Amino acid sequence: MIWRIAMVVFGAWIAGFALFWLTLGKPLDPARKTDGIVVLTGAPGRIDRGLTLMHANAAKRMLVSGVDRDVRPHELAIQYREAKLFRCCVDLGWQAVDTRSNAEETAEWVRDHRYKTVRLVTSDWHMPRARLELAHLLGPGIELVGDPVPSNPRFLTLFGEYHKYLVRSLALMLGAG
């Protein structure tokens, strides 16, 4: 009996990982409008995607969450050649150091701006957990849409992220958020 239960659990775990891997999302249409865009730092292409969306008028403002404390707005503006856009419409968040604190920083920004719709930009492999964390803190009154940046994650990256997602899902279900 224990052997059968173990096999069912193992099969569900394998199937869940396969589903996680095979359902990495695709970027949304830039025409999809939201009040704000949130970009989580950490991998190439994320800030670029956010800036592309801002140029497409996909949102009013953008938050870049998880910026290193030593980085200043004018440095990013110069790096991305976007001085005007950074002055008017891009906020930098220096408080976040991980996915959970990205969600906390973002939820505060969303509340401060009274946004009702938010587009989350992060890597495709990171999207499920980032979206889980943020949706938990935003609650049901805010529409959250994911806009994953395609990547080519290593197997171990996906494997680790899948387990982080499982652990956080379980923790949130048990009320240990």
DSSP 73: H
- Tens of pLDDT, residue by residue over 153-166, are 999 999 999 999 99
At 89 the three-state DSSP class reads helix
Q: Mean pLDDT over residues 5-31, rounded? A: 91
Look at the pTM and tell me if it is higher than 0.85. yes
- Tens of pLDDT, residue by residue over 99-120, are 999 999 999 999 999 999 999 9
Cβ-based neighbour number of residue 160 at 10 Å? 13
Nearest to 77 by CA among 88, 68, 65: 88
Going through 41-111 in order, the beta strands assigned E by DSSP cover 61-65, 90-93
For the chain, the residue count is 177
Residues 6+ apart with CB under 8 A from 115: 34, 35, 36, 142
* pLDDT at residue 159 in the model: 95
